[in-house]
Amino acid sequence: MYKMLLCCAAGMSTSLLVTKMEQYCQSQGIEAKIWAVPVADFEKELPVDLIMLGPQIRYAAKTVKEAAGDIPVMSIDMRSYGRMDGESVVKKALELLAEKGA
């Protein structure tokens, strides 16, 4: 089971994206736990397999990567986020995890 953490500013719109991602995973038989937290709280949620950053907090990527250590960190592109395209976000996440050997 993949543990995927989304980091955002406050969690409002990100919770909708989490739902869309979960729906896609269920439809494809992908076992994943996906949840969202404000970026200020992400360290309390570790360890995870992947950290995803909402486009509104891309500025925090360097800080998150430093604190995450070996955990892969990806930024969600604005188009996928704006469209709440859970499928494309999950696909990109799985590609990154495959590259990292997870």
CA dist., res. 89 & res. 102, Å (int): 17
pLDDT in tens, 38-96: 999 999 999 999 999 999 999 999 999 999 999 999 999 999 999 999 999 999 999 99
* In the chain, where the domains are located: 2-99
3-state SS, 26-78, equals HHHCCCEEEEEEEHHHHHHHCCCCEEEECHHHHHHHHHHHHHHCCCCEEECCH
Exactly one of 4, 5, 6, 8 is catalytic; name it: 8
CATH number of 2-99: 3.40.50.2300
- Would the pTM of this model clear 0.85, i.e. be above it? yes
Closest C-alpha to 95, from 63, 52, 55, 65 = 52
| Residue 8 is among the residues annotated as catalytic for this protein | yes
Residue labelled with tokens 């919770």: 15
